[in-house]
Amino acid sequence: IGMVLGPAVSPPSAPPAQTITLTVTETETVMVEEAAKEYLIGLAIAVSGGYSVDGPRRRNAAILAIDEMNMLLENSGSPVRFNWIHEDTKSTAEGAIAAVPKLAAAGVQIIVGPLATSETKAIMDFVNSRKIVAISPSSTGTAARVKDDFVFRMAPPDVYQAPAIARIAWEVGIRNLVILARNDDYGKGLADGVEETFKNLGGNVVNLLYDYTQPDLSADVERASTAVANFGEPDKTGVLVIGFDETVKIYDRARLDPVLSEVRWFGNDAVKRPTFLPPDAKEEIAEFQLTVKLIGTAPARGPEDNPVVKRFIENYVDRFGEKPSLYSYYSYDAAMVAMLTVLSAGVYSGEVFKQILP
């Protein structure tokens, strides 16, 4: 047996001992409250002149939307709130030109309004140059449709309403149409569109304009009566009135005219307003509309049994004591779209809003 002796192999040396010190501290969570942020929504909505009856209803709908949005923001803990500033555009282009710069001077970057096509067209140069967004609840006329502008519209344009009116009249047997339209951008644009389509269908048209600022429209009603009589075919002749609240005066005079009372009548979307029915209008005016089998066109809204529509109606009635008119729905939506745009943008800038809106 042999034994071999060699150098001893020692194990690796252990690392030097380390001292670890643990420090335990008490932490406290501090809630930092975000600073409140308030954004302005301008309301360039007429409450006098031609919109003296329906304008307040549309303004109220926008205010209701703002109040409801603020409640939602508060309940969610958001520091954001919306406030509104209203300027009466007085239903005229001149009134709109005076109103919108006042909103701009207050720092407004997004506006609900104006209502009429003539008003909307009048403020386009100003909002485009100042990069302020305007969302009209009810401007439908083609005169205020310009590519890549700062004006947006909630209601469908008259490029759809005009052919619809013409085709409805044609389909019920009308071959001669007397148009009595208010002399502004909206009235002329819609009347021309109806005339073009109706003539293309093979019909005859007399296109008359009236001065809606006049207190008495009897002479204009007489012109329409003469035009109807000249056709000599009462069973194939119809009358189309394109107007706003002043149309009540036309109905009131026409109901006394035997020539106009025996032909079919048609109307634009304004005939959906409560203005034309009791208690706002006389019983005789409502009876006249039944006698002439009045047909009108109007933009669509959701049915009243729709939960969203139902809630809007209930909230509106509770707040203002009456049911909303047709364009009140569009005014409410315009205000909601304006606020959602601001919230999406994260900054208060009309130039940014324009890029967000479709």
**Is 25 inside a domain boundary?**
no
10 in a domain, yes or no?
A: no
Q: Is residue 193 within 8 Å of 177, Cβ to Cβ? A: no
Of 178, 93, 104, which is closest to residue 144 (Cα–Cα)?
Answer: 93
Q: What is the pLDDT of residue 12?
A: 39
SS3 of 312, please? helix
pLDDT of residue 9: 35
**Residues 227, 173: one domain?**
yes
pLDDT attached to residue 273:
85
On whether both 124 and 151 belong to a single domain, the answer is yes
Statement to judge: residues 170 and 285 lie in one domain = yes
Domain span at residue 135?
Answer: 37-156+302-313+324-356
Three-state secondary structure call for residue 317? helix
Q: Assess whether 233 and 197 both reside in one domain.
A: yes
Supply the CATH number for residue 90's domain.
3.40.50.2300
Residue 19 lies in a domain: no
> Collapsing DSSP states into helix, strand and coil, what is residue 43?
strand
Residue 6 placed within a domain = no
Handedness of CA 325, 331, 337, 343 (dihedral sign): negative
Whole-number Å distance between alpha carbons of 119 and 139 = 9
H helix or E strand, kind and range, residue 339: helix 326-345
156: which 2 tokens? 């469908």
Our measurement of the distance from residue 151's CA atom to the centroid of its chain's CA atoms, rounded to an integer in Å, reads: 11
Does 143 share its domain with 103?
A: yes
pLDDT of residue 175: 98
CB 190 within 8 A of CB 162: yes
Q: Do 83 and 166 have their domain in common?
A: no
Please tell me the predicted confidence (pLDDT) of residue 280. 87
Does some domain include residue 11? no
Q: Is the CB of residue 261 less than 8 Å from the CB of residue 255? A: yes
Q: How far is CA 325 from CA 152, 175, 269, 271, 332, in A?
A: 21, 32, 11, 11, 11
How many Cβ atoms are within 10 Å of 329's Cβ, its own excluded?
23
Question: Are 55 and 137 in the same domain?
Answer: yes
3-class DSSP state of 85: strand
Q: Are residues 260 and 306 in the same domain?
A: no
* Contact yes or no for 126/97 (Cβ under 8 A): yes
Decide if 288 contacts 255 (C-beta within 8 A). yes
Kindly give, in sequence order, each residue whose CB lies less than 8 Å from that of residue 254, ignoring residues fewer than 6 positions away.
Answer: 221, 224, 225, 239, 260, 261, 288
Q: Kindly state whether residues 134 and 172 are assigned to the same domain.
A: no
Q: How many domains does the structure of the chain reveal?
A: 2
Q: Write down the pLDDT at residue 27.
A: 53
Judge if 165 and 292 occupy the same domain. yes
Inter-axis angle of helices 117-130 and 93-105, nearest 10: 30
Q: Give a yes or no: residue 16 inside a domain.
A: no
Mean pLDDT per 10-residue section of the chain, whose length is 358 residues: 34 46 52 76 95 94 98 97 98 97 98 96 97 96 83 92 96 98 94 98 98 95 98 98 94 97 95 87 96 92 90 97 94 98 96 95
Q: How many Cα atoms sit within 13 Å of 16 on the Cβ side?
A: 2
Indicate whether 206 belongs to any domain: yes
| Residue 77, in any domain of the structure | yes
Q: What token pair was written down for 56?
A: 């307040």
Shared domain for 143 and 122, answered yes or no, is yes
Residues 45 and 137 in one domain: yes
